[in-house]
Structure formats: structure tokens, C-alpha cells
Amino acid sequence: MAELSELSEKLSAIKSQIEADLTGITSSKGIFEYKKSVMDSKEGKIGSLMKEMGKIPKEQKAEYGKMVNEIRNWATEKFDALDAEFKAAEQKARYEAEAIDVTLPSKKLKKGYLHPNTQVRNQIVDIFGSMGFSVYEGNEIETDHYNFTALNIPKDHPSRDMQDTFYLSPEFLLRTQTSAGQVHVMESQQPPIKIISPGKVFRSDDDATHSPMFSQMEGLVVDEGITLCDLQGMLDVFVKKIFGEETRTRLRPSYFPFTEPSVEVDVSCFQCGGKGCKLCKGTGWIEVLGAGVVNKKVLEGCGIDSDKYSGLAFGIGIDRIAMLKYGINNIKLLFESDLRVLEQIDD
Amino acid sequence: MLVPLSWLKDYVDIDVTPDVLEEKLFSCGFEVEEKYEVGKDISNVVVGEVKTCEPIEGTHLHLCTVDAGEHGLLQICCGADNVAAGGKYPLALIGAQVYATAKDHVTVEGVMTIGQGKLRGYDSYGMLCSGVEIGVTEDMFPGAGYNGLLVLPDDAVPGADVKPILGLDDYIFDVSITANRPDCQSIFGIAREVAAVLGKEIKEPALDYTESDVAIDFNIRVSAPDLCPRYIGHYVSDVTIGESPLWMKRRLALVGCSAISNVVDITNYVLYELGQPMHAFDYSYLEGGEIHVRRAENGEKIVTLDEKEFSLTSDNLVICDGVKPVALAGIMGGLNSEILDSTNAVMFEAAKFAHDNIRKSSKALGQVSDSSMRFSKGVDEYTTVMAMKRALHLIEELGCGKVSKTAFDVNTGNSIEPRKLTVSVARVNGVLGITVPDEDIVRILTGLNFAPELNGDELTIYIPGYRVDMESYQDVAEEVIRMYGYDHITPTFIPTAKVTSGGYNLKQRSELKIKNALCAAGASEGVHYSFFSPSDFDLLRLPEDAPERFAIKLMNPINFDLSLMRTTLAPQMIKAIARNQKNGILTGRIYEMGNKFLPKSLPLTEYPDERETISIGVFGDGEDFYTLKGLVDVIASALDIKFDYEKSSKTFLHPGRTAKVICDGVEVGYLGQVLYEICDELDMRVPAYVAEIDLRALTKYYGKDRKFIPLPKYLEEKRDFCFVMDKSVTCSTVEKEIEASCDYITKIELFDIYEGAQLGENKKSLAFSVVFTPKDEEFKPEVIDGFVSTILKNLEEKYGITLRA
Ligand SMILES: [Zn+2]
């Protein structure tokens, strides 16, 4: 067993050599390289041991193999342990080196915003859409007939004075109200009708609080047995969703030629809760929309049987809601594409 | 409309506070826009009786002791020339609030609080006041206009508040009246509503008068009954023109009308009281023994009371005598028949003129009066008849004339008697959705003078002549609920309605999808006016015959810059970019989705094409032609379609940086860099890029089915090529050629552009990576090699493109 005892000595020497070598290695990369050189099957101190196998007598091969494996495992464990130790230290150093000032400004991710009116419009459509209202978009350019006459506002009607109309010809005009679309719908469709009709409307008004173009949303329900109570019920749901669950509504008499009775709908001031503040001019209430039971003359004019069906209609100022909801103080800001305005509202 | 509380009280017993009255009016449909006490600025002014009054030597002042009742005996220095022992004057106590006047003692300069003063060494514990200092005019109280102390009546009690004595405790309500209630455009009209809402009796103003035996030979005829359905005339003799009594002047003052003379004041008084404009002609100036109501002749002239001359057309209605026009009907009387101090006989007029004609004439002539405004809202013949009686009564009451027998009522036969209307109570309640108790319905309708009769479900009412708005059960429902109270309406949720499906339709969803995609790509949505300026065409350098110039004109625009319906969205987008730059925003992305308006003919004879369009604008740091192009491609990818681009030109875009956008071979828009000249013109500091896409042309792609494409079964092959070509060859030419060369290509991507001397003059290099996707079996290397050689061969043969060495 001279060979084996010789081998044993040789292995001890290798071990000592490796241990000595390792004290000079300080990085995981060094370990990697050293391990590679030691384990190299041709020239490595341990790797090449197996080459000797051929020279070992048959009956000693097993013992030889065992000893080589032992040293191989010993070395591997040693290397791995050191490797883990170095790697941990190296990661730690890297993390330390990569530390940043987390309070520096964030990188701006460019994002665009829907127009405040579109945001409000989407919210309103969500609410009424879930109640079964479809969305009808009428023309901006209308005829006198659809904008006025068919809505029970004949040529000599005093309420034409209420609206300064832009005329394009004696017959054509810029619609002054989204109600103009009502008639098109009722002419082309029999009840049940449930539509909302958002869009731009125009009046010859141009001052601090008026814009010659603004946005409205008309709502119309025509079916059997529709009453003023339904109007209150539906608008209750609407204002609660738009302005908050605590919001209350108040109906008060008003006048629109195409509804009878007509009401103005006020909501309890969402800023002061009804106590009175600057927004509500001290009254505790804010006027948000006009509504009423559709005048039977309008139904009949569209070929709808007013003995069988009744309807209700309401008109909401979309810009007005947007301004109230977001606190925008000047309606003109909505039409100037000022990015300082547009990039503020994200509802 | 201004309504003094004291005047209302003539007709209704009002036993509620002004605040409660305001609420009651509001609840039944009459919003009080403003309510104020006449003497709102005056406080702590009482009756003071001067006991002793000694001149202070060397001054114009008097040292007085003044009895202020419970407030004690006060020493007051007074500079007024009419102060005298025994006199009673308004006394502002220390702490009182009165008006401050300028040195002239007449011009009010604000409000002041009285403090303890010292004049010439004498303490003064208050101030004796003139009419001006406590806001009382001659019209409100005789003598108040004197530039000195206001002298109170002998029976005034020292120490008592002066407000009730001088009418300063009165309230004025400014009531807003809806267009359907012209009958409420008067104090009496409001009184009727107040009586109804308070459940009180209404007291009619006195209408009685006695006709004398006087009669004259006169005639009234109306040859335009369509414009004048009723004309009532009454001759009054023995007229003495003079001042109106205090009560009448005071009331006119409260509603902001100045007193002129008794006869004229009567016509104004009736206007405010009943809402019927009236007119009085000086009879001595009426020639030809008649009044003729007719359309004016074209070019006919009249000079109105305010000495303005008008040239008329046949659209205007005039009142003429036998010879000449004497009044612009319903708008203003003529100067030639004005009431003067010398007037001794009068022809009174009360008429109903067609409100739309008065409105149009008034607008066309630019002549507005209380009368024309009132007529424009609509006058009812019931009131026309009543008003004449009232005016004649007032003539007698004021003793300023004799009511003659000569009277005319030219009318078209319209009845002023109550109209009968029968409705079903169930229908009335059906509108409301609640059941109003029968007794409440009857009570309410009785209060509104509808004389209801209820018989089971059958409700019959008799509508007074002044309520022309009442037509159907819906109107009855409104009358009932506004008096019953809207707080009785209980919310229900359309329990009888059928279920329907709702929400956005495909078009609306697709538009929203595009908007959201553009927002996700960093662009914010703007909204611009549908009208724009004719000068925008010039801004865009559009030639005279450019189709964009075929635009719809507004007949009555607000101004020149808002006078055309837009035919392109570009100018407003360019201006929006300029505005942002002016505001210091030097980079940004904006888009607008809106309509442009393309007429089929002008002037309009049919609906124009309202064409949905998107404009996009980008500007500033980090933005260029290709970022804009990226946004345009966002639209395509939102719709799952592909746009092609070709070099193009636009008068307002950079000649080297403009492209048209093509979809399925159809041009759908353009994009490019805005001309530097335009940027300079608009004071822009950074370059701007604008695109406009015809959304309508893309609607056919809305809702395109998206099918899942299975992932490739076999490994895809990717090859990179670096080509050298002439500079003039476009990227899309190369791409198209590569694509056409092989069926298996699924992706072609440009990844590098290089221009340099070593390539040779006018050469550039474009590098593409091309993906080949196998279909039924794995590619063999020689197959790919075949594809590649075909590509190279085609490129070389057609465009002389070679691989870069
Ligand atoms: Zn509030």
C-alpha cells in the first residue's frame, strides 16, 4: 500500500497548499478562477488526480477513488463557503455603492388627460347608462323647427327671448339646447325611450360667466306612467353619485316651454352642506339643472300617443357640473386648451 | 320686476314678515332675486322736537335743545337755515347711520355713523337731518327735497322711529317672472299670486267712474288687426295738467319711475299696477277726427317723445290721426301729440299689440321703452279692458279731467270671459305621481280664481281671461303642485318603465377608446369653439379657392373672430399651442376631437356635413415630426388598422416635413411641422407640429373583430440588413419592397439610419431587422437564404440598393 500512503501524503500536501493559497484570495471571482484551476481535469491539483487511476492496482482503485472524492468534496465545500461569504460581502458593497437620494424628484411619466367635460360626461353616462339610457348625439347645426317649434316654442313665443340664438340662415341655426335632439329621437322611435344626449350648444352670450359655446346633456324618458316623482327619484340618484351621498335635491317651479310642469332642481351645497357659503351665495342650495314632465304637445307633435305615454326630460349643464365639481372658476378656461388647466383634472 | 311691499298691501292683507313672503313667492315659482328695505342704510333716526334754538354768534349755526322722547333732551348744533323752535325734524342719535353728503349737502358720498361732535366749542349729541341725509326724496315726502332740514308732520311723536312716517320701513322685492306668466308682470299680478299662496282674499283696485255728457265726433279704426287685436280709446275732457298727489309720486319713485304730470303719471301708474302700457294723446293735436292703427309706409318718418327720428317700414305698426303718425305703436308716443302743461283734453289708449311685432320693431329700430318691453312679454285683453277703466277711475280720483261718453273698443272678437276647461283628476295626479287630496285641489284652484267644480273624477275650472297660459291637465297639475308644494313629491324610480339597455354605442365607445389611447400616449384633450375666424384662412395661407374657405357664416356672430363655422381644426390647434407657449408652457401634446362643418351649398338649404375630426398638436423639447406621427399611429393602433404615409404639402406646413396619412389607399389626413413664419406671427418660441385626421373616414373600422393569432409553432428567424441607397429613397419604399418579396415576413423594423462621407455622396444607410415566421414546418437554412437573396435582388434591381460592405 506504498502508493496509497504516498497518496495520502500527497493529498495532505495539496490540502495545505490549497489552504495557503486561499488566504491570498479575496473575491468571488478569485475563488471562481482558483476553483477552476484546481479542478481542471488535466492540470488541476485535484482535477488531475483521477488521471492517476490507471496507475493504481486494481484492488486499490476503490480506496483511491474514495480518497480523491473526499478531497474533492472537502475542496468544493471550502470553495463554496468562501464563495458565499465573498458574494454576500460583494453584494453588500454594491448596494452601499448604489445607494441614492430617494428624495430627488421623480422621473416624469408623460400622461395626458381627458377634458374635464369628457370626464364629467363619462361619469354621467355611467350613471344613466346603468339605468338603461342610451346616448344620442344630435347635430350642432339644427333647424329652427327642431330647436324651437317642435319643442313648443313657436316663432312668436316669448321664451325665444330667453335664448340668444346664432342663426346661419333663416331656417338653420346653432342649437341653443340639446333638447333639439329629443324630437329627432321621438320621431324615429316609439316608447320606451330612455336617452341622454350630450353635446355642444350655443348662445349669443359672451361675458365673465358665459361662453358662446358650452356643453349640455339632455335626458329623456318616455314610457307608460312616468311621473314627476320618477324625475325626483332619478335625479336623486344622479346627484348623489356626482356630488356625494349626502347631497339632497330640491324641486322648485320654473318654466320651459317643452315641459309642464317645469322645475328647477337645486342640490344641497356640497361645500358647506347647506349652511350657506360663498359658493351657494349663502342659500345652501346650488342650481344644477332644469327638468319637467314633457309637454303633451311635444309628444303629440312627434306622433307619440299622449294618452298612453308620458315622459320626463331634464337638462344638465356639463360645464357647470365640471366647474362646480372641480372648482374651475371661469368657464372660458374650458375652451382654451391651456395645459396648466387640462393637466390638473383627473377624476 | 320691482314690487314694493306697501303697494302689494293695497290688494292683499299681508300678515307675514318680508322673509316669509319671499319664501312663499319662491315656493310657488317666483324667485325674489333681491329684497331690500327702502331705508336699509338708515338706522337710529327718531323724531326730534326742537325746544330751544339760539344762534351761535359769528356763525351760521344754532345751538338747540331737542326733545328725543325716551332718548332724553339733547344738545345739538345745527347748521340748517330752517331750524326753529317748535319744529319736528329727523334726529340721528349717536351711533345712528345716515348718508354722508358732499359740501353741497345734496350729493350722497356714502354712509356715515354719527358720533358725539363738537362744533365751535359746543358739544353736539346727534344730528338733525335733511331728506338727502336719510334717503328721502321729494317724491316720497313733500318738503324732503329742500336743502335744509326735513320737516316732519306736527303729529309726529318725539323719540318715535322716523322710518314708518317717511316710508323708509317699506320693502322692495325684485321678483323674477318666467316667460309663461306675463300676467304677473305687474304689482297686481303678483298680488293675485300672493293672495293665493297666503290663502287670502284679493282686493281689486277701484275701476268705477262716471261718464259725463260730453261726446265728440271721432272715430278709431284698425287696419292691421293681426298686429293689433284690440284697441280701446276713451276721450277725457276738461283736463287740468298738474302734479300728481304724493302717494302716486311716491309709488312711482319706489319702482324707479319719475313723476312727470298727473295724466302721464296715471298711464305709468297703470302700467306698473296692472301691466298694461297705456298712452295719452293731447287731443288738440289729433287731426282729421280719427285714430288709425296701421302698418307704416316704407320710409315714413316719426319723431318720438325723446326727440329721436325714425324711418319706418311696413313691418312697423303706427298709430296715426287722420293725417300723420302720432305714435310708434306700443313703443313710444310721438313728439307731435305729447302731453304738455297746456293740454286740456286727452285721448287715452289701451291696446293689445302682437308681442312679437313689438319685439321685432323695438329691436330693429333700437328703441326700447318700458312699454315695448312689457308688450314684448305679452299683454292679455282682459287686462287691456281693465286698465282703461282703472285709468279713467284715476282721472276722477285725481280730479284732473272729465270722463266723456266718447269711447271705442275695436277688437277682433276675442273673449275676455273665463274659459271652461274640464280635466280628469286622475290625469292631474298622474302627472305628479302623488294623489293630492280633492279638497286641496279645490282649495288651491279656488285661490287662483279658477272657480273649480269637482264631480267625481271630473274637474271643471273657469280660467280667468288673464291666464292665457292654461291649456291642459298638465297646466292644472303645475298649478296644483306649485301651490301644494314640491316637497310633497316623493322619489320613485320609474317603476312602470320597461327595462332598456344603455350606455355608449359602438361609435361613442370607439371615439372614447381613441381619446384614452391618445391620453395614454401623453396627449391631453382640449375643446375649441365650433366657430372660428375668417382670418384663420389667411393664417393658414390658404389660397382664395381653397375648399376650406367654403364655410358657413353666422348671420349674427358675437364678433368677426367667431363668425364662421370651422372647416378645419388646425388653426385653433396652432393658436392653442401659441397660447400655451405664451403662458410659459414650452412643451406639450394636445388633441381635440370635434366636428368640422362642411356645407353642401351656401346659403344652407339642407343639413351640412358635421364631420368628426381629430386634430393633434405637439410642440417643444423632445417633440418632433416623428413623435407627432407616433400619436397619429396611436389612432391607427386603437382601431387595429394601419396608416401609410407619403410626402405631401400643405400651405401652412414645412415643405420638407409634411405627409399625408393614408388608410387602405384613402387619404384620411395630414401631419407636419407648422411653418416658421406662422410660428413667428404667433410669437411662438419653439417649433410646433400639427396633424388633422378625418375620423369619419375611419368609422368603418370601428368595432373591427380582433382575433387571436396563435403563437408560432416553429422558431421564427430574425435577420438584420444594413442597406446603402440614394438619399431620395424613402424608408417606406424599402419596407414595402421587402414585404412584397416574401410571404413569410411578419415584421420589418428600422433600427438605424446613417449618413456619412464613406458611403459616398447622396447616399445613406438604413438598417432593418426582418422577422420570418414559418407557417407549416420549420425553416431549413437554405429556405431563409433563398428569401434573403430574393429581397436583395429585388432591392438592387429596382432601386440600386446594396448591402453595406
Ligand atoms: Zn354652500
Domain boundaries, chain A: 2-97, 116-342
Chain A, 208-227: which have a CB under 8 Å from a chain B CB? 212-213, 221, 223-227
pLDDT > 90? residue A115: yes
Q: Which fold has domain A116-342?
A: BirA Bifunctional Protein; domain 2 (3.30.930)
Of A155, A167, A225, the CB nearest to B496: A225
Give the Å distance between the CA of A275 and the centre of ligand 1. Answer: 6
CB A342 to CB B525 under 8 A?
yes
Considering only A4-18, A82-96, B224-238, B668-682, which range has the smallest mean pLDDT? A4-18
Tell me what pLDDT residue B645 has: 92
Q: Going by C-beta distance under 8 Å and a sequence separation of 6 or more, which residues neighbour residue B43?
A: B96, B97
pLDDT 10s digits, B671-682? 999 999 999 999
**CB under 8 Å, gap of 24 or more: what pairs does B603-610 form?**
B603/A168, B603/A169, B604/A141, B604/A168, B604/A169, B604/A171, B604/A172, B604/B552, B605/A169, B605/A171, B607/A139, B607/A141, B607/A143, B607/A172, B608/A141, B608/B552, B608/B565, B610/A139, B610/A140, B610/A141
Q: Does B557 touch chain A (CB under 8 A)?
A: yes
**Which residues in chain A have their CB less than 8 angstroms from residue B576's CB?**
336-337
The Cα–Cα gap between A135 and A220 comes to: 11
Q: Going by C-beta distance under 8 Å and a sequence separation of 6 or more, which residues neighbour residue B49?
A: B66, B67, B86, B87, B88, B158
Give the torsion sign (CA, A41, A47, A53, A56).
positive
Rg (chain A; Cα; Å): 42
Taking Cα atoms as reference points, which of B579, B602, B600, B598 lies closest to residue B590?
B579
Q: Does B181 touch chain A (CB under 8 A)?
A: yes
Match 317699506 to its residue by C-alpha cell: B170
CB B530 to CB A158 under 8 A?
no
The Cα–Cα gap between B2 and B252 comes to: 11
Q: Which residue of B has its CA nearest to A346?
A: B524
Of B354, B503, B583, the CB nearest to A134: B503
The Cα–Cα gap between B360 and B308 comes to: 18
Chain B, 275-304: which have a CB under 8 Å from a chain A CB? none
Q: Cβ distance A30 to A23 under 8 Å?
A: no
Could you tell me if residue B252 is left (phi over 0), alpha (psi between -120 and 50 degrees) or otherwise beta? alpha
CB B597 to CB A162 under 8 A?
no
Of A115, A161, A257, the CB nearest to B359: A161
- Positions of E strands within B743-785: 745-754, 763-772
Grid cell at residue A79: 470553495
Min Cα distance B364 → chain A (Å) is: 14
Taking Cα atoms as reference points, which of B183, B158, B195 lies closest to residue B65?
B158
Tell me what pLDDT residue A276 has: 87
State ipTM: 0.83
Give the Å distance between the CA of A123 and the centre of ligand 1. Answer: 23
Split at pLDDT 50, 70, 90, the class of A105 is confident
Domains recognised in chain B with CATH numbers: 2-38+171-198 (3.30.56.10), 43-166 (2.40.50.140), 219-411 (3.50.40.10), 419-485 (3.30.56.10), 506-701 (3.30.930.10), 717-803 (3.30.70.380)
Tell me what pLDDT residue A1 has: 45
Helix H or strand E segment including A262: strand A259-268
Q: Does B608 touch chain A (CB under 8 A)?
A: yes
DSSP notation for B345-404: -EEEEEEE--HHHHHHHHHHHT---HHHHHHHH---HHHHHHHHHHHHHHHHHHT--EEE
Q: Does A295 touch chain B (CB under 8 A)?
A: yes
Q: Which residue of B has its CA nearest to A131?
A: B502
Q: Does B494 touch chain A (CB under 8 A)?
A: yes
CB B477 to CB A221 under 8 A?
no
The Cα–Cα gap between B619 and B623 comes to: 6
pLDDT 10s digits, A191-235? 999 999 999 999 988 777 789 999 999 999 999 999 999 999 999
Of B378, B522, B528, the CB nearest to A112: B522
Q: Which residue of B has its CA nearest to A296?
A: B474
The Cα–Cα gap between B119 and A252 comes to: 58
Mutation target among B515, B524, B610 for the A interface, most CBs of A within 10 A: B524
SS3 B57: coil
- In whole angstroms, how far apart are CA A186 and each of A150, A220, A311, A338, B459? 11, 10, 11, 39, 31
CB half-sphere exposure, B537, CA atoms < 13 A = 17
Mutation target among B487, B527, B555 for the A interface, most CBs of A within 10 A: B527
Could you tell me if residue B485 is left (phi over 0), alpha (psi between -120 and 50 degrees) or otherwise beta? left
**Which residues in chain B have their CB less than 8 angstroms from residue A310's CB?**
430-431
Name the burial class of residue B762, with classes exposed (0-12), middle (13-18) and buried (19+) by CB atoms within 10 angstroms of its CB: exposed
Helix H or strand E segment including B248: helix B246-254
Percent of chain A predicted with pLDDT > 70? 96
Q: Does A110 touch chain B (CB under 8 A)?
A: yes
Q: Cβ distance B128 to B76 under 8 Å?
A: yes
CB A114 to CB B377 under 8 A?
no
Min Cα distance B451 → chain A (Å) is: 21
CB B474 to CB A159 under 8 A?
no
The Cα–Cα gap between A127 and A131 comes to: 7
CB neighbourhood size of B357 (10 A): 22
Angle at B760 between CA B754 and CA B761, to 5 degrees: 95
Residue segments in chain B with a per-residue pLDDT below the cut of 50: none
CB neighbourhood size of B736 (10 A): 13
Chain B, 7-66: which have a CB under 8 Å from a chain A CB? 26-29
Q: Cβ distance A193 to A303 under 8 Å?
A: no
**Which residues in chain B have their CB less than 8 angstroms from residue A322's CB?**
none
Rg (chain B; Cα; Å): 42
- In whole angstroms, how far apart are CA A280 and each of A25, A208, A327, A331, B34? 79, 18, 13, 17, 15
CB B180 to CB A162 under 8 A?
no
Beta bridge partners of A256: A259
Q: Chains A, B: CB contacts under 8 A, how many?
A: 261
Q: Does A140 touch chain B (CB under 8 A)?
A: yes
Q: Which residue of A has its CA nearest to B551?
A: A168
The Cα–Cα gap between B478 and B274 comes to: 24
Match 324711418 to its residue by C-alpha cell: B311
**Which residues in chain B have their CB less than 8 angstroms from residue A206's CB?**
558
Q: Cβ distance A316 to A249 under 8 Å?
A: no
Min Cα distance A102 → chain B (Å) is: 25
Split at pLDDT 50, 70, 90, the class of A7 is confident
**Which residues in chain A have their CB less than 8 angstroms from residue B502's CB?**
128-135, 194
Could you tell me if residue A185 is left (phi over 0), alpha (psi between -120 and 50 degrees) or otherwise beta? alpha
Match 322648485 to its residue by C-alpha cell: A252
**Which residues in chain A have their CB less than 8 angstroms from residue B557's CB?**
166
CB A167 to CB B180 under 8 A?
no
Q: Does B789 touch chain A (CB under 8 A)?
A: no
CB A141 to CB B608 under 8 A?
yes
Q: Cβ distance B328 to B367 under 8 Å?
A: yes
pLDDT 10s digits, A294-309? 999 999 999 999 999 9
SS3 B666: strand
What is the rounded average pLDDT of the residues A123-151? 93
CB B604 to CB A169 under 8 A?
yes
Q: Which residue of A has its CA nearest to B182?
A: A158
Match 325716551 to its residue by C-alpha cell: B70
Name the burial class of residue B92, with classes exposed (0-12), middle (13-18) and buried (19+) by CB atoms within 10 angstroms of its CB: buried
Chain A, 230-249: which have a CB under 8 Å from a chain B CB? 230, 232-234, 236-237
CB A166 to CB B433 under 8 A?
no
The Cα–Cα gap between B371 and B275 comes to: 9
Q: Which residue of A has its CA nearest to B25?
A: A253
Report residues near ion ligand 1: CB below 5 Å: A 269, 271-272, 277, 279-280
Helix H or strand E segment including B252: helix B246-254
The Cα–Cα gap between B131 and B115 comes to: 20
CB A257 to CB B180 under 8 A?
yes
Split at pLDDT 50, 70, 90, the class of A154 is confident
pTM: 0.82
